[in-house]
Amino acid sequence: MSEKVLQTIKELTEINSPSGNAAEAVNYVKDKAESLGYPTKLTNKGALIITVKGEDDEHQRCITAHVDTLGAMVKEIKEDGRLALSLIGGFTYNAIEGEYCEIQTEAGQVYTGTICLHETSVHVYKDNHEIERNIEHMEVRIDEKTTSAEETRDLGIEVGDFISFDSRTQITPSGFIKSRHLDDKASVAMILELLEKLKQEDTTLPHTTQFYISNNEEIGYGANASISEKIIEFIAFDMGALGDGQSSDEYTVSICAKDSSGPYHKELKSHLINLCKINQIPYKVDIYPYYGSDASAALRAGADIRHGLFGAGIESSHALERTHIDSIKATQDLLYAYCLSPIKL
């Protein structure tokens, strides 16, 4: 594993790209892939497909990762000039309380702010810790002189403007990388690292592989369209979910056996496990109970594919996330081994 992948993760996480407004992050990946000489295609809904030609063009693979993230929109401009939020993606308000954010207007202006409980001050609001964190009580305090809805609108801010959360990305001396949006920008960075490795080694894959960088995964329909009928295997390259009752950790690659959509393809899961055993890659097999992926979205859309899911173990998913370079390395090793392995026809 090179240190470059960590820098790429940092650069990606620092690009604002909530679902519905991920074009800048998509273009970042597009430029990187094209600089390496790979052909790319933008789909109508703004996703990116990077095609790597292989020896067998009739039986293809698709590996998808997503650059869209959690975020919010302006739901309402309040009488005091502050903003009510409408959340984008599956998370709770307590995960963003106190977070710095940016509001992007329709005209492209960017303002900073903080996501606060309206009744934050303990010197004014008794027992504020008992107040439910919800749309009625959470708001954005804008870093501008505004005390009315009219003054906020004069800034160019309106209902429907996107709100992005500060990534706060840090790489520690002990080998941890912590940030918002490691789900799933860590995976995207690893794909870019793989593409560079294949180019440097002049490696030809056994099967043509489409790397599908989706832009709507967090809202349920990222890589569920523009899927070639030649694709046999479809991998969601996403995060492993950690917590009580889970076997995955921050130091291995996590292979998903089942999530909220049901079991993943048994033979493909077994193939991933065998690759780990053969290549001495540390791994864990897990079930993610409240999770859905672009692979399951593709199946629901009618794709006739064998679907699988693996990725780095991510602590505190959909909040202040963290993983370790050991997990990144194990995940990269499995990605490389998988891409170089033949499809069982």
pLDDT reading at 296 higher than 70 = yes
* pLDDT, average across residues 276-293: 96
Domain around 122: 71-165
Convert the pLDDT of each residue in 207-226 to its tens digit: 999 999 999 999 998 888 88
User: What pLDDT shows up at residue 313?
Assistant: 98
* Same-domain check for residues 195 and 316: yes
Residue at 313 is within a domain: yes
Q: Is 59 annotated as a binding residue?
A: no
pLDDT reading at 2 higher than 70 = no
CATH code for the domain of 227: 3.40.630.10
> What is the number of domains present in the chain?
2
Q: Is 123 annotated as a binding residue?
A: no
Q: What percent of the chain has pLDDT over 70?
A: 99
* Same-domain check for residues 293 and 199: yes
* Same-domain check for residues 160 and 230: no
pLDDT tier at 276 (50, 70, 90 boundaries)? Answer: very high
User: What pLDDT shows up at residue 160?
Assistant: 98
pLDDT tier at 126 (50, 70, 90 boundaries)? Answer: confident
Q: Is 66 annotated as a binding residue?
A: yes
* pLDDT, average across residues 338-343: 98
Convert the pLDDT of each residue in 176-202 to its tens digit: 999 999 999 999 999 999 999 999 999
pTM, entire model: 0.96
What is the 3-state secondary structure of the chain? CCCHHHHHHHHHHCCCCECCCCHHHHHHHHHHHHHCCCCEEECCCCCEEEEECEEEEEEEEEEEEECCECEEEEEEECCCCCEEEEEECCCCHHHCCCCEEEEECCCCCEEEEEEEECCCCCCCCCCHHHCCCCCCCEEEEECCCCCCHHHHHHCCCCCCCEEEECCCCEECCCCEEEECCHHHHHHHHHHHHHHHHHHHHCCCEEEEEEEEEECCHHHCCCCCCCCCCCEEEEEEECCEECCCCCCCCCCCEEEEEEECCEECCHHHHHHHHHHHHHCCCCEEEEECCCCCCHHHHHHHCCCCCEEEEEEEEEECCCCCEEEEHHHHHHHHHHHHHHHHCCCCC
Among residues 134, 165, 196, the one where a domain terminates is: 165
User: What pLDDT shows up at residue 226?
Assistant: 87
Convert the pLDDT of each residue in 197-209 to its tens digit: 999 999 999 999 9
Convert the pLDDT of each residue in 80-110 to its tens digit: 999 999 999 999 999 999 999 999 999 999 9
* Same-domain check for residues 75 and 34: no
Quote the longest CA-to-CA distance of the chain.
69
Rounded to whole angstroms, the Cα distance separating 180 from 185 reads: 10
* Same-domain check for residues 53 and 94: no
* pLDDT, average across residues 239-254: 97
pLDDT tier at 241 (50, 70, 90 boundaries)? Answer: very high
Q: Is 318 annotated as a binding residue?
A: yes
User: What pLDDT shows up at residue 1?
Assistant: 58
Residue at 345 is within a domain: no
* Same-domain check for residues 293 and 191: yes
Q: Would you call 132 a catalytic residue per the annotation?
A: no
User: What pLDDT shows up at residue 280?
Assistant: 98
Among residues 114, 132, 165, the one where a domain terminates is: 165
Q: Is 166 annotated as a binding residue?
A: no
* Same-domain check for residues 109 and 212: no
Determine which one of 217, 233, 250, 321 is catalytic: 217
* Same-domain check for residues 203 and 263: yes
* Same-domain check for residues 204 and 334: yes
Q: What are phi and psi of 113, to 5 degrees?
A: -165, -175
User: What pLDDT shows up at residue 134?
Assistant: 94
